[in-house]
Chain A
């Protein structure tokens, strides 16, 4: 049978299963099994067993549960209060006032946590009530938190980049370093916007009382432990001392000590953190099993190769192709969560994108930006759900509030597409 027809049948099956609400990992496995069993002569059980085992018996992937565990420990510590108090004296007098703490605290937390949802939840649980008490515009507060929360996936460590690295066989260390500049640009973009709005409409962001240098120095003491943790985790990767998995283990130790020092670590807290990490790891791990088996099945069927050569023969031009992909991912992001988006599409899109000359490293960062956009667009946008839970406002309200930040995100995506070296320069120096 023609590869094109097989592709259409399998995709239709996949989206039917997903649409019916079959668990994502189950849907992936079903399509893979059907693909191999019906359309090839390969022994389906042999493939299933071997690939399922190989996909999770992985040293690089072991970074995943460790970074998740680190985030769970920090989420249960008093780190978000410390960040808010530490950062406020430094940036409170800028136009936009304490709204900037949303972006700066999210960026710092993103540098020790791999998840957007965790970032939005950790920073939001303190900043939302604090800013409300000071009469800040709730719309700007929630919008900027939704936007800045997405930095969790871009600024390393990043769960999304680990998954991409494992599936696309790209160095996770290099991906992490590649995410730094786009992440910083995005944070600057958010702050610039907040600054302009704050200057035009001071009533939306009333400036706090002035701070003394004494306040600022005390602020530094509050930020110091987090800064040390960032240096330990990212510095060890960048310097080549540790692999991402090892730096994750260092991060777990650091987070554990930090939680001890803040006296927030009770046995109950600790057990909840362990079991919470197990649940998230299993959820992501089973999706990776499904994705790996599906990707192998597609390889057997020759789907990626055929589609890639077909797209190349269309001769769209690299930028048009990326534009088409961006629109496709934004549509997909309306209905799928980020991880599913990446694993479902990667076996097909990666060969196409590399065939027209993009670096897989760059594409990883591009994909993460697309995932981040998906996190703040309804109906399925996890950051929106989290902030709705914290603030009591509806998902729709927060989605509208997040629109300017969504647009900034798209702008930054366009910038790194035009100048790929923004992503690729730092990893080249490693």
Chain B
């Protein structure tokens, strides 16, 4: 799972560089050639969506997603563990739902062959599929953290990000 999350993080990083390059190209061609690539606005949106979802599992593992830690700080190790497990269960549930919802969205785009309204007429199944993969990765990462909290409780307790440790 760690490897999968890393791959997601790397993909997101590459997409971040791609977004910068795409927009700079657009500015360049518009200023110097007087032409638009007609892609920058549309694809920046797809890339952004992909960065956020594909990198979400990696960010979760790195403890980047914020949570309020006031109660957690006042508990002992045992209490913390149970609180974490509860939070992880809720996380699994809701990202599971999110994955399911994005699966339906993806299925719609595939079944009806939905294409974007922009110039490129991109089949929407591709960007929708990317965010689906990201949501599933995130759900799997939540499950992996819950398993770790059960079987390797000593290592995982400090790993679950807290607000205030930037």
Whether A357 sits at the interface, judged by CB under 8 Å, is no
- CB-defined interface of B55-68 with A at 8 Å, one 1/0 digit per residue? 11011101011111
Q: Flag if A57 contacts B45 (CB, 8 Å).
A: yes
CB distance from B93 to the nearest CB of A (A): 8
Stretch in contact with the other chain, from A86-94, A132-140, A281-289: A281-289
Bound-complex Cα distance A245 to B20 (A): 10
- CB-defined interface of B96-110 with A at 8 Å, one 1/0 digit per residue? 011011101100000
Q: Flag if A274 contacts B67 (CB, 8 Å).
A: no
* Interface size counted on chain B using CB atoms at 8 A: 60
Q: Flag if B165 contacts A49 (CB, 8 Å).
A: no
Q: Flag if B59 contacts A279 (CB, 8 Å).
A: yes
Whether A53 sits at the interface, judged by CB under 8 Å, is yes
Chain B hits for A69, CB < 8 A: 16, 20
Whether B148 sits at the interface, judged by CB under 8 Å, is no
Q: Flag if B59 contacts A282 (CB, 8 Å).
A: yes
Bound-complex Cα distance A378 to B126 (A): 45
A65-B51, A245-B44 known; A45+B104 contact, CB < 8 A: yes
Bound-complex Cα distance A364 to B112 (A): 41
Chain A hits for B83, CB < 8 A: 20-21
Stretch in contact with the other chain, from A187-195, A333-341, A396-404, A422-430: A333-341
- Helix, strand, loop or mixed for chain A's interface? helix
Q: Flag if B65 contacts A283 (CB, 8 Å).
A: yes
Whether A59 sits at the interface, judged by CB under 8 Å, is yes
Bound-complex Cα distance A24 to B104 (A): 25
CB distance from B105 to the nearest CB of A (A): 4
Q: Flag if B24 contacts A53 (CB, 8 Å).
A: no
Whether B49 sits at the interface, judged by CB under 8 Å, is yes
Q: Flag if A22 contacts B67 (CB, 8 Å).
A: yes
Stretch in contact with the other chain, from A26-34, A147-155, A318-326: A26-34
Whether A242 sits at the interface, judged by CB under 8 Å, is yes
Q: Flag if A279 contacts B64 (CB, 8 Å).
A: yes
A20-B86, A117-B166, A281-B52 known; A249+B17 contact, CB < 8 A: no
A48 contact from B20, B48, B58, B97, Cβ within 8 A? B97
Bound-complex Cα distance A245 to B90 (A): 35
Interface size range of chain A in the complex: 35 or more
Q: Flag if A249 contacts B68 (CB, 8 Å).
A: no
Residue of A with least CB distance to B95: A26
Chain A hits for B64, CB < 8 A: 279-280, 282-283
- Helix, strand, loop or mixed for chain B's interface? helix
Give the residue among A56, A271, A380 with the most B Cβ atoms within 10 A.
A56
A23-B87, A286-B65 known; A337+B58 contact, CB < 8 A: no
Chain B hits for A245, CB < 8 A: 23, 44
Chain B hits for A22, CB < 8 A: 67, 86-87, 90-91
Bound-complex Cα distance A275 to B7 (A): 12
B101 contact from A30, A52, A65, A278, Cβ within 8 A? A52
Whether A212 sits at the interface, judged by CB under 8 Å, is no
Whether A176 sits at the interface, judged by CB under 8 Å, is no
CB distance from B104 to the nearest CB of A (A): 6
Whether B29 sits at the interface, judged by CB under 8 Å, is no
- CB-defined interface of A251-289 with B at 8 Å, one 1/0 digit per residue? 011000000000000000001001101111111011101
Q: Flag if B20 contacts A56 (CB, 8 Å).
A: no
Q: Flag if B51 contacts A24 (CB, 8 Å).
A: no
CB distance from B110 to the nearest CB of A (A): 14
CB distance from A405 to the nearest CB of B (A): 20
Q: Flag if B58 contacts A57 (CB, 8 Å).
A: no
Whether A246 sits at the interface, judged by CB under 8 Å, is yes
Residue of B with least CB distance to A117: B166
Q: Flag if B27 contacts A242 (CB, 8 Å).
A: yes
Whether A313 sits at the interface, judged by CB under 8 Å, is no
Q: Flag if A275 contacts B20 (CB, 8 Å).
A: no
Whether A99 sits at the interface, judged by CB under 8 Å, is no
Which chain B residues in 101-129 approach chain A with CB under 8 Å? 101-102, 104-105, 127-128
Q: Flag if A337 contacts B66 (CB, 8 Å).
A: yes
A57-B46, A62-B44, A385-B165 known; A282+B58 contact, CB < 8 A: yes
A19-B71, A281-B16 known; A57+B48 contact, CB < 8 A: yes
A53-B128, A57-B45, A250-B24 known; A19+B55 contact, CB < 8 A: no
Additional A-B contact list (9), CB under 8 Å, known A23-B66, A56-B48, A121-B166? A22-B86, A22-B91, A23-B87, A56-B53, A66-B23, A248-B23, A250-B24, A282-B64, A283-B66
